[in-house]
Chain A
């Protein structure tokens, strides 16, 4: 089962392109984004390690149970709601982002509301399933999508059009200190482990921390490619002109001898799958956080799931209706900035709970 934990983390890494991580890093490319990337790896790995280690004391428990052992109910339940709303927003932003790009590049005549709605139907259907089934699902999605995405990335690195001098120009800003936003954005890559707050129940044995160091180099590779490839293609100065630098970059590649010549459709369609997978995971986590925080007389009703998803979907659709591209991107950056402290807070809570448990047991 350990490999499913790997999928959870890896899914979060791959989806970064669609949750404004490259945009944030590129915006700050001359102001410490480079250092943010280098710092993000030890920071991300450290908190992941702490979290996994602490969680080993709570095998097959969910966050609510851990919080309840630490805090009184009037405090732990609102906290769970807070975390749930963060997860909800994560899924929501991914949906808005993929919806917006699919409207812009695939079906320009369709309204954003409809595009998002299409995704929501399948996402809600899937996120209501059991955790185990969701793990199987993301495994299938990753296995189908990642080889082709790797192909695109390898193709990008070998492309004649990539200019490493441009990347090096950005690399020369290593003297700048990274900003909070940049670090927060870069550590997003590693935050897939937080999904364990609910998925922990699906793992019969606690996750062994033996192999997690592998995520360090992998995460660094993912960060570097999602940051450097657009810069190499669009230039150190020109890259910030684009709202979706990765999509522009994928359109700048050409497969001369492939079945289709343009990479853009392939890239978007693959990422539609990845984004849906990520949203399914996030909303599943949010759903169960809310359900467990609610009194069981409410949460056991069959309508509860659909009420919760209805709320989630309503939020997303309202955002889709009210916001334009700029707002969505700002919402995404805002969320990323807020995410990091929340994540640290969560890890601290779990750590304290684990320490206390050692004392009592």
Chain B
């Protein structure tokens, strides 16, 4: 009885095994794509230039190396490009470790982002937690960087976006799934960090693009970027320069959190923005006194208010909404979702912003 059962199981395994046998592919027979870039094609007949960055594992280097190879292909669709690239390398292309997607800024300006993102969302093997960014001057240029500090191809990007290496409020990091969500969600617009190539194999990632549902609408500079980030990710490590009569001092914020409330009064939307900053003074050109801390706080608040207001009116003029005011409006109004959305589209251009910031200085640093 037992033997017979054992035999059945073995037979079943053998039968199944003979059906199978094609999924088995060793890790050293695969090429890992660590990053991919999509740019507009140089050839006017084609749509995209797809570039993949393939990591080359090296047996001799004991602690890893950042050896890589770059393959580009110009086609009308990403899927085709990947197929063609597959035929050009000797191992199976594995997209499972693709953790960075860089879209050339020119392509973002051209628009049609929904069509572009389709392939990334549809493929089952692409991580939803891949980071997505725009590349300047091109995605390929960003991929083809070889910083000396890297022990892994493209590790610099992973570290910057993952915020385990460097933690800074200048970097907005965006996941693939979040980007897709923002492309679809009415009342929450997508944003992309811009990776700019600098000399000496360096990059700078402190600006970002705000898109409407299709294309680039506005590019935020570093200072604005920080404000958006305080609402978007709530990352601290934020610095505020406060000008005094005879000089200035810099507040290093431990945490900086932006929240907002939305009211509609007399057919007009009023958006209250609250920014709360806790920090210490990190640098000053003038001597500071402990007694006057509250005065400094007021000065800093003025500064923050000005900056926040200017940013949000800028966004309003560009008709984009990366913070999700529209979504909040939808979340507070019942009724036909389409009707609610149309109401908001009417309200947003005339919405009024009011800022209340609260800066709390914990100390003046180690000296007064």
A132 at the B interface (CB under 8 A): no
B124 contacts A105, CB within 8 Å? yes
Which B residues touch A110, using CB under 8 A? 20, 22-23
B337 contacts A173, CB within 8 Å? yes
A234 at the B interface (CB under 8 A): yes
A161 contacts B184, CB within 8 Å? no
Assess A234 versus B177: contact at CB under 8 Å? Given A165-B328, A251-B129. yes
A238 contacts B180, CB within 8 Å? yes
Residues of chain A from 110 to 163 with CB closer than 8 A to chain B in the complex: 110-111, 113-114, 117-118, 121, 160-161, 163
Q: How far is the CB of A261 from chain B (nearest CB, A)?
A: 8
Q: How far is the CB of B225 from chain A (nearest CB, A)?
A: 18
Contact of A251 among B177, B186, B330 (CB under 8 A): B177
Contact of B188 among A163, A171, A175 (CB under 8 A): A163
A209 at the B interface (CB under 8 A): no
Which A residues touch B182, using CB under 8 A? 235
B181 contacts A172, CB within 8 Å? no
Contact of B124 among A104, A111, A172, A233 (CB under 8 A): A104
Residues of chain B from 80 to 132 with CB closer than 8 A to chain A in the complex: 121, 124-125, 127-129
A60-68, A188-196, A252-260, A273-281 - interface stretch: A252-260
Assess A169 versus B337: contact at CB under 8 Å? Given A104-B124, A241-B184. yes
B67 at the A interface (CB under 8 A): no
In the bound assembly, the distance between CA atoms of A108 and B324 in angstroms comes to 37
A166 at the B interface (CB under 8 A): yes
Look across to chain B and name the residue whose beta carbon is closest to the beta carbon of A257: B164
A236 at the B interface (CB under 8 A): yes
Assess A238 versus B185: contact at CB under 8 Å? Given A168-B331, A256-B162. yes
Assess A174 versus B23: contact at CB under 8 Å? Given A169-B327, A252-B128, A262-B127. no
In the bound assembly, the distance between CA atoms of A233 and B162 in angstroms comes to 18
Q: How far is the CB of A333 from chain B (nearest CB, A)?
A: 22
A237 at the B interface (CB under 8 A): yes
B333 at the A interface (CB under 8 A): yes
A248 at the B interface (CB under 8 A): yes
Which A residues touch B9, using CB under 8 A? 121
A118 contacts B16, CB within 8 Å? yes
A236 contacts B185, CB within 8 Å? yes
A107 at the B interface (CB under 8 A): yes
Which B residues touch A288, using CB under 8 A? none
B233 at the A interface (CB under 8 A): yes
B12, B20, B162, B328 — most chain A CB neighbours (10 Å): B20
B22, B184, B340 — most chain A CB neighbours (10 Å): B184
In the bound assembly, the distance between CA atoms of A244 and B333 in angstroms comes to 29
Look across to chain B and name the residue whose beta carbon is closest to the beta carbon of A121: B12
Q: How far is the CB of B20 from chain A (nearest CB, A)?
A: 6
In the bound assembly, the distance between CA atoms of A114 and B16 in angstroms comes to 6
Q: How far is the CB of B200 from chain A (nearest CB, A)?
A: 29
Contact of A108 among B124, B327, B335, B340 (CB under 8 A): B124
Which B residues touch A237, using CB under 8 A? 184-186
B330 contacts A172, CB within 8 Å? yes
In the bound assembly, the distance between CA atoms of A99 and B256 in angstroms comes to 46
In the bound assembly, the distance between CA atoms of A167 and B19 in angstroms comes to 45
Assess A252 versus B331: contact at CB under 8 Å? Given A110-B20, A166-B185, A237-B186. no
A235 contacts B129, CB within 8 Å? no
B188, B324, B335 — most chain A CB neighbours (10 Å): B188
Which A residues touch B333, using CB under 8 A? 172
Which A residues touch B164, using CB under 8 A? 256
B238 at the A interface (CB under 8 A): no
A121, A235, A262 — most chain B CB neighbours (10 Å): A235
Residues of chain B from 1 to 26 with CB closer than 8 A to chain A in the complex: 9, 12, 16, 19-20, 22-23
In the bound assembly, the distance between CA atoms of A30 and B341 in angstroms comes to 14
B148 at the A interface (CB under 8 A): no
A234, A253, A261 — most chain B CB neighbours (10 Å): A234
B residues whose Cβ falls under 8 Å from a Cβ of A: 9, 12, 16, 19-20, 22-23, 121, 124-125, 127-129, 162, 164, 175, 177-178, 180-188, 233-234, 324, 327-328, 330-335, 337, 340
Given known contacts A104-B124, A107-B23, A163-B188, what 11 new A-B pairs fall within 8 Å (CB)? A114-B19, A117-B12, A166-B181, A168-B332, A172-B340, A173-B337, A233-B177, A235-B184, A237-B185, A238-B185, A252-B128
Provide 15 A-B residue pairs closer than 8 Å at the C-beta atoms, listed in order of the A residue. A104-B124, A114-B16, A160-B233, A161-B178, A163-B327, A165-B328, A167-B331, A234-B177, A235-B188, A236-B185, A238-B185, A251-B128, A252-B129, A256-B164, A261-B129
